[in-house]
């Protein structure tokens, strides 16, 4: 896999300049230890590349896998590089334990308020899907709460000092349509509170309440916490990889890790996705992961994924998430499949005419907001 290849253009967000920075050492680190991966190849990081590799590893939370790869001789570099990799990994581990402590304090608040939740992504995947959680680093805490308890959860956390990163688009938007909100704790930890997995077409199709029918419990700092079931964790990992925010090598690794190493029942994931009319999300994520990490394509998961073809509507929606388009453009992909004219109208109105507080936070007047929407559409270019 080389920068600029078809695979990378599909899987990795491309910068405005069209550049993709992806060093082979990072690919080697991201695939290191996967059973279906081919024989390991030693990749040398040259002195002039070291700073960039370290920065990209930090950005994509690959610090643990890069350190492991250096330790196992899969990635090599100067003595300084090795020292820096180890130091960066240690820094990431400090952050992980602080975040886990924060996660449990937050979960305790929800438990005491009687609000059900599922711990998502980083801490859950690190403990449940990796043999050594130190290999899977993360930079924030994500919790899913039931849509029906959304506002109560936000209010409860606000009473404990949490504040919003940005104001809600319009009152009630998040509960009805939103993916979630970022809340900042009094100690400045970031909490991504989720109502569902995605915005846009595939978020609309999500039946997030189904995710609360099962749980996988594990102890975090001696406290019993609830994560998604294994097949639902894979489903979430696929959503993140295919239609998430930044979808880098780590997102691909999570998908491959769960299918190849932690033994997740991936056909069960496909079954749920089919019920949500989102099979193409799983197929895309699996295809991306296998191509990006150069995995064995005879695996049944890849064979299934490669046989799936998106409808024209699905293809258009997926494209919207594969470019650095703004939130509204991606959210609009949900309009076509949203049931109910009134609901569509409310959705469109909220996206087109955000509340004053929301506009103020983005430093835009209503006129400027509307003009930017119209102008960008006419010129067929991304909004900033």
Partner 1 sequence: MTLRRADRVFWRGAPGFLVLADGDGQLTEISGRGWEVWQELANPIEQQDLVAVLMQRYGVDRQTMATDLAPLVDGLIERGLIERGLIERGPIERGPIERGPVVQA
Looking at residues 214 to 253 of the shown chain, list those that interact with partner 1 (rule: CB under 8 A): 214-224, 226, 229-230
Q: Exposed (0-12), middle (13-18) or buried (19+): which is 169, by Cβ within 10 Å?
A: buried
* Nearer Cβ to partner 1 (148/326): 148
Contact indicator for 314, 292 with CB cutoff of 8 Å: no
Residue 212, interface with partner 1 (CB under 8 A)?
yes
Residue 192, interface with partner 1 (CB under 8 A)?
no
Gap between the Cα atoms of 340 and 201, Å rounded? 14
> Residue from 32, 89, 149, 179 that binds partner 1 (CB under 8 A)?
89
Residue span binding partner 1 (CB under 8 A) among the ranges 101-109, 308-316, 334-342, 370-378: 101-109
* Nearer Cβ to partner 1 (12/128): 128
> Residue from 9, 10, 105, 277 that binds partner 1 (CB under 8 A)?
105
Residue 261, interface with partner 1 (CB under 8 A)?
no
> Residue from 101, 166, 300, 323 that binds partner 1 (CB under 8 A)?
101
Contact indicator for 134, 93 with CB cutoff of 8 Å: yes
The token pair that represents 362 in the structure block: 């983005």
DSSP type of residue 131: S
Q: Closest separation between CB of residue 286 and partner 1, Å? A: 22
Sign of the Cα torsion 181, 185, 188, 192 reads negative
Q: Closest separation between CB of residue 227 and partner 1, Å? A: 8
The token pair that represents 33 in the structure block: 């230890």
Contact indicator for 202, 317 with CB cutoff of 8 Å: yes
DSSP type of residue 37: B
Residue 272, interface with partner 1 (CB under 8 A)?
no
**Torsion on CA atoms 262, 268, 270, 275, rounded to nearest 10:** -150
The neighbouring-strand residues paired with 223 are: 220
Element (H, E) at 224: strand 223-227
Binding marks (x or -) toward partner 1, 44..83, rule CB under 8 A? Answer: -----------------------x---x------------
User: Nearest 5 degrees, angle CA 225-CA 229-CA 231?
Assistant: 155
> Residue from 26, 62, 74, 96 that binds partner 1 (CB under 8 A)?
96
* Nearer Cβ to partner 1 (94/159): 94
* Nearer Cβ to partner 1 (133/248): 133
Binding site for partner 1 (CB under 8 A): 67, 71, 86, 89-90, 93-94, 96-98, 100-102, 104-105, 116, 127-128, 131-134, 187, 212-224, 226, 229-230
């Amino acid at each position: 896999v080389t920068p600029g290849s078809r695979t990378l253009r599909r899987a990795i967000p491309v910068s405005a300049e069209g550049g993709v920075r992806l060093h082979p050492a990072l690919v080697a680190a991201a695939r290191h230890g996967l059973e279906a991966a081919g024989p390991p190849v030693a990749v040398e990081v040259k002195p002039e590349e070291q700073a960039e590799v370290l920065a990209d590893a930090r950005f994509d939370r690959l610090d643990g896998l890069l350190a492991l790869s250096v330790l196992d001789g899969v990635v090599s570099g100067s003595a300084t590089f090795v020292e820096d990799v180890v130091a960066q990994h240690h820094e990431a581990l400090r952050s992980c334990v602080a975040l886990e402590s924060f996660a449990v304090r937050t979960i305790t608040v929800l438990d005491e308020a009687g609000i059900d939740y599922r711990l998502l992504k980083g801490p859950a995947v690190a403990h449940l899907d990796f043999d050594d959680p130190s290999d899977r680093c993360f930079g924030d805490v994500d919790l899913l709460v039931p849509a029906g308890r959304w506002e109560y959860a936000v209010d409860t956390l606000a009473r404990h000092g949490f504040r919003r990163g940005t104001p809600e688009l319009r009152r009630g938007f998040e509960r009805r349509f939103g993916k979630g909100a970022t809340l900042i704790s009094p100690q400045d930890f970031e909490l991504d509170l989720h109502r569902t997995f995605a915005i846009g077409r595939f978020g609309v199709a999500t039946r997030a309440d189904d995710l609360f029918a099962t749980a996988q419990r594990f102890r975090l700092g001696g406290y019993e916490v609830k994560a998604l079931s294994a097949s639902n964790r894979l489903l979430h990992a696929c959503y993140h990889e295919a239609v998430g925010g930044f979808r880098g090598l780590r997102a691909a690794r999570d998908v491959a890790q769960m299918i190849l190493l932690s033994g997740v029942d991936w056909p069960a994931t496909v079954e749920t996705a089919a019920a949500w009319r989102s099979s193409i999300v799983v197929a895309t994520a699996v295809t991306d992961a296998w191509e990006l990490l150069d995995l064995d394509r005879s695996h049944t998961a890849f064979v299934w994924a490669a046989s799936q073809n998106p409808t024209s509507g699905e293809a258009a929606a997926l494209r919207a998430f594969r470019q650095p388009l703004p939130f509204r453009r991606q959210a609009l992909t949900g309009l076509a499949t949203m049931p109910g004219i009134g609901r569509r109208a409310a959705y469109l109105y909220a996206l087109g005419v955000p509340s004053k507080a929301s506009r103020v936070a983005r430093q835009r007047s209503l006129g400027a907001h509307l003009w930017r929407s119209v102008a960008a559409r006419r010129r067929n270019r991304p909004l900033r």
